[in-house]
Amino acid sequence: MFLTTNPQLNKNGELHHLLSIEGLPGEILRQILDTAESFVGVTQREVKKVPLLRGKAIFNLFFEPSTRTRTTFEIAAKRLSADVINLAINVSSQTKGESVLDTVANLAAMQADMFIVRHSQSGAPHLIARHVSEDIHVVNAGDGRHAHPTQGLLDMFTIRHYKQDFTKLKVAIVGDILHSRVARSQIHALTTLGVPELRVIGPKTLLPMNVDNLGVHVYHDMAKGLKDVDVVMMLRLQNERMQGSFLPSPQEFFKFYGLTAEKLALAKPDAIVLHPGPMNRGVEIDSTVADGSQSVILPQVTFGIAIRMAVMSILAGN
């Protein structure tokens, strides 16, 4: 029933917008991961480009600053031969008082085919998706505390690349779950793909109330939470989203929840460490771990391009 009402899917149940991983069937997640697999090979060729989206106009609408995500979307669109237009809107029309929907309507009038949207307010990409015409696709590139689906998908791609089978894994997500749209996307994706044991580790002040309703095990102690896990997913401490006193100090946070080699030794010996970037070294992760042999943080960035190519090409074809 919910399938027909999911605003991301068209009447055939195919992905039309990518707004959130929540509510997407595993089949669609696997289609994206499998398609991305083929795009990884494209980037190793003499010509790192395919003609799939030739002539399409893709607008990067960033109402909130971002370097990595915007750049990887831009590279992905260019490798699909699309034309990419980058707009950092906090410094242009928003300051002149234009509304989000007016901005989008104007860009749609410029024959946009796809909007990649980042916004500090949860739900902004949904709002845009509801108001654009039927032939325009919207991708959420991170909205407030709500969701960051392409980050969640590239994390799934990375985990599958190193660990193959989701159904045998113990996974821990560590840090500022409360403010993290990445964590929410990861939890929905890992659950949908059948991870049997999912843990979240963090101080009470940085865990959402009722987080255990999402089907996760809650830990406040790293030593217990990291024991025997296959995958450690670190989160960035979201200083810019914190108003009020969530933490005594970054030093205090590092002492209890920063990932050091000692704490990582409690996980399985072949456990991998992910981080969505940008990293606060010495706050949530120690440099010896970030640059160590178990870190897959840089491969995540590379896979992120293939995932975004897959998402854009699947949407454009539906």
Partner 1 sequence: MSVKPLPDAEQLLTALIAQMRPQVTPETGLIGIVTGGAWLAERLHAALKLEVPFGTLDVSFYRDDFQHKGLKRKVAPSDIPFEVEGRDLILVDDVLYTGRTIRAAMNELFDYGRPARIRLASLVDRGGRELPIAAQFVGATIDVKQSVELKRDAQGRLSLALSTD
Query: Is 134 a residue that touches partner 1 (CB under 8 A)?
Result: no
Whether 149 contacts 19, CB under 8 Å: yes
Q: Which amino acid is at 113?
A: D
In 3D space, the residue among 140, 103, 101 whose CA is nearest the CA of residue 122 turns out to be 140
| Residue among 52, 57, 75, 218 that touches partner 1 (CB under 8 A) | 52
Identity of the residue, 17 or 236, whose beta carbon is nearer to partner 1 in the bound complex: 17
DSSP state of 94: G
Residue 274's beta-bridge partner residues? 233
| Residue among 1, 5, 41, 270 that touches partner 1 (CB under 8 A) | 41
121's CB contacts (< 8 A; 6+ apart) are 143, 144
In Å, how far are 178, 216, 252 from 208, measured between CA atoms? 5, 12, 20
Q: What is the rounded distance in angstroms from the CA atom of residue 178 to the CA atom of residue 161?
A: 28
Count other Cβ atoms within 10 Å, centred on residue 280: 18
Identity of the residue, 76 or 177, whose beta carbon is nearer to partner 1 in the bound complex: 76
Residues 246-305 binding partner 1 (CB under 8 A) are: none
Query: Is 164 a residue that touches partner 1 (CB under 8 A)?
Result: no
Which of these ranges, 37-45, 69-77, 215-223, 232-240, lies near partner 1 under the rule CB under 8 A? Answer: 37-45
| Residue among 23, 25, 42, 121 that touches partner 1 (CB under 8 A) | 42
Identity of the residue, 126 or 137, whose beta carbon is nearer to partner 1 in the bound complex: 137
Shortest distance (Å) from residue 247 CB to partner 1? 44
In 3D space, the residue among 290, 188, 307, 187 whose CA is nearest the CA of residue 236 turns out to be 290
Site size with partner 1, rule: CB under 8 A:
22
Query: Is 83 a residue that touches partner 1 (CB under 8 A)?
Result: no
Tokens 């809650």: give the residue. 218
292's CB contacts (< 8 A; 6+ apart) are 261, 264, 273
Query: Is 75 a residue that touches partner 1 (CB under 8 A)?
Result: no
Whether 236 contacts 284, CB under 8 Å: yes
Shortest distance (Å) from residue 44 CB to partner 1? 10
Shortest distance (Å) from residue 281 CB to partner 1? 35
| Residue among 3, 7, 26, 34 that touches partner 1 (CB under 8 A) | 34
Query: Is 43 a residue that touches partner 1 (CB under 8 A)?
Result: no
Structure tokens at 66: 């971002």
Query: Is 120 a residue that touches partner 1 (CB under 8 A)?
Result: no
Identity of the residue, 294 or 302, whose beta carbon is nearer to partner 1 in the bound complex: 302
Identity of the residue, 14 or 83, whose beta carbon is nearer to partner 1 in the bound complex: 14
- Backbone torsion region of residue 119, taken as left when φ is above 0, otherwise alpha when ψ lies between -120 and 50, otherwise beta: beta
Q: What is the rounded distance in angstroms from the CA atom of residue 230 to the CA atom of residue 159?
A: 9
Query: Is 27 a residue that touches partner 1 (CB under 8 A)?
Result: no
Q: Where along the sequence are the contacts to partner 1 (CB under 8 A)? A: 14, 31, 34-35, 37-42, 45-47, 49-52, 313-314, 316-318
